[in-house]
Amino acid sequence: MTASKIYDVIIVGGSYAGLSAAMALGRSMRRVLIIDSGLPCNRQTPHSHNLITHDGATPKEIAEKARAQVLNYPTVKLHQGVAVSGRKDQASFTITTQAGAEFEGRKLIFATGIQDLLPAIRGFSECWGISVIHCPYCHGYEFRGQKTGIMAPAEKALHLIPLIYNLTGSLRIFPSGPAEFNADQLARLQQHSIEVIEKEIVEIVHEQGRLRRVILDDGSDVQLDALYASVPFRQHTDLPAALGCQLNEQGYIQVNDFQQTTVPDVFACGDNSSPMRSVASAIAKGNFVGAVVNKELADADFWSN
């Protein structure tokens, strides 16, 4: 590939973080290629919240508008496909897609998100992102005052309980087994009339993703309108690790304050490198990393020529 054909930046992942990075770079006249599968992790979520100017819009509406605006910049291109492999050459990266297309770029940004590992509970996946949810900032207001559960081990539940109790006094905890709360914690839960149910949830009864009740392993059931669930995850792609990017103890791509990974010229932004999982956060991180990468390119071009 000739030098004129090399992109300044390849962005793997074209959802909110990737599109935000592409806009910052496109406005700086950088030649940018976005590689995106077209399958964002929140595609089942009916509405996006806690994002000013777009509060209540569907994730699809936000992404489509963002994509159209980003592609108005003539130096930004979009390739629909799945990046499956990559290699680092002397001064650039080559990314290969599942269909065999190859693209070369000076810098690489991963905005690939994460993949939730949903439990094998009947009805869980159909409700995920609708009434079985992960974030009180993204969903909590819509379920304020309603019958709510938290399905999480004690440590994670303790993080969520005060946040969700602030939104509803009708709260139950499902620790998925023996509750590992200490005596003081149990006393405080009892003081706030928060019931701890140690039975396993085996089924979620719903209507088109809207939770109605959960069925427990002894056959009993509990009426709920919403269930916060802490589920494990993995990186949506192994490509960063294959290129040498280290993951932290939580499983996120390790980055520094400038969103740089442990591999020179490789950056990461969005859900793949931050536990703050929201559209607003992804947009902010993408915008920031776009500016960082442009600065590195500008310095290299100015001072080396």
pLDDT of residue 305: 67
Mind listing the pLDDT tens digit for each residue in 104-121? 999 999 999 999 999 999
pLDDT single digits (tens) 196-246: 999 999 999 999 999 999 999 999 999 999 999 999 999 999 999 999 999
Query: Shortest CA distance to 271 belongs to which of 279, 117, 291, 227?
Result: 279
User: According to the model, what pLDDT value does residue 45 have?
Assistant: 78
What digits encode the pLDDT tens for the residues 232-266?
999 999 999 999 999 999 999 999 999 999 999 99
Query: How far is Cα 120 from Cα 111, in angstroms, rounded to an integer?
Result: 28
Separation of alpha carbons 134 and 151, rounded Å: 10
d(CA 81, CA 53): 30
> Cα(113)–Cα(34) distance, rounded to whole angstroms?
14
Those residues with Cβ within 8 angstroms of residue 73's Cβ, 6 or more apart along the chain or in another chain: 22, 23, 26, 27
Q: Which residue has the tokens 């006393």?
A: 187
pLDDT-derived band at 46, boundaries 50, 70, 90:
confident
pLDDT digits (tens, 9 = 90+) for 132-149: 999 999 899 999 999 999
Structural domains in the chain, CATH included, are 3-116+232-304 (3.50.50.60), 124-229 (3.50.50.60)
**What is the pTM assigned to this prediction?**
0.93
